[in-house]
A and B are shown apart, each in its own frame.
Chain A
Amino acid sequence: MAYMTDRKRANGLGSAHSGAHHHWQIIVSSVVLLVLVPLFVFTFGRVYGEPFEVALIYMSRPFPAVVAGLTILVGFYHFAIGARSAVEDYLGGWTRKLVLIGVNFLCLALAGYGLFAIARLALLPLPPM
């Protein structure tokens, strides 16, 4: 008992008998996003709206590409858990189940599409100028 962490001690004691894991996951991902979000805002934010070639060359560079990829990965993970807690607060029964499936589907689809786009941007040879 003396060596148990506070999180372990709280595990399973809530009315739902679970949830501490999700809480911990959202905290860990929020710390990661605290680093990624400013980097993403001031890399992606500077380049969108620029002409095609400018944006293409910029987003093909390693740093903006890695920042965008990681932000998408961790961001949608964070959103999926956060949206889940909101859905569980306000919806019940079948509506809850269907909306949760929809939220996870949306997050997975957008994350998959986003990661594919970044991989393609970063790995495809640039068109001749």
Chain B
Amino acid sequence: MADVNRGNRPLSPFMFGQYYRPQWTSMTSIANRITGLSLIVAAFLVVWYLAGLSVGGRSFEVANGVITSWFGDIVMTLSVYALWYHTLAGVRHLIWDTGRMLRVDQAETAGKVIVAAAAVLTVITVIVC
């Protein structure tokens, strides 16, 4: 039974590495989860900054120093990309939930659009802010 027509069936994503070929659909899906979870770092920095701002003095200097340091700049810039990516990927989920764009080619195209559009929005955000 075990070797009857293994066919050309998809493999579990948990076989990442030598058995699993990355696809736009699975990669944009896992990226949505990674970006969402990683936003806790920026959220922490923002709350720290607001707390420092509300207290003033030394507290503000430390919080402001951290969020505007070179490390803070890298974290915040990456987080802006993560935020836009996660937002757009969320929009894609909302569209999917209405039953639209569910064909594989449509989902792949939407994934490519999300990756590119998030980059454009990040550049705009960095310029405007």
Least Cβ–Cβ distance between A65 and chain B, in angstroms: 10
**Among A27, A37, A49, A106, contact of B94 (Cβ-Cβ < 8 Å):** A27
> From DSSP, what is the main secondary structure of chain A's interface residues?
helix
Least Cβ–Cβ distance between B29 and chain A, in angstroms: 12
Verify B60–A52 contact, CB threshold 8 A: yes
For window 3-58 of chain A, which residues contact chain B by CB distance below 8 Å?
27, 30-31, 33-34, 37, 41-42, 44-46, 48-49, 52, 55-56
**Among B37, B47, B87, contact of A113 (Cβ-Cβ < 8 Å):** B47
B residues near A, CB below 8 A? 33, 36-37, 39-40, 43-44, 46-47, 49-51, 53-56, 60, 64, 67-68, 80, 83, 87, 90-91, 93-94, 97, 125, 128-129
A residues near B, CB below 8 A? 27, 30-31, 33-34, 37, 41-42, 44-46, 48-49, 52, 55-56, 59, 68, 72, 75-76, 79, 82-83, 86, 106, 110, 113-114, 116-118, 120-121, 124, 127
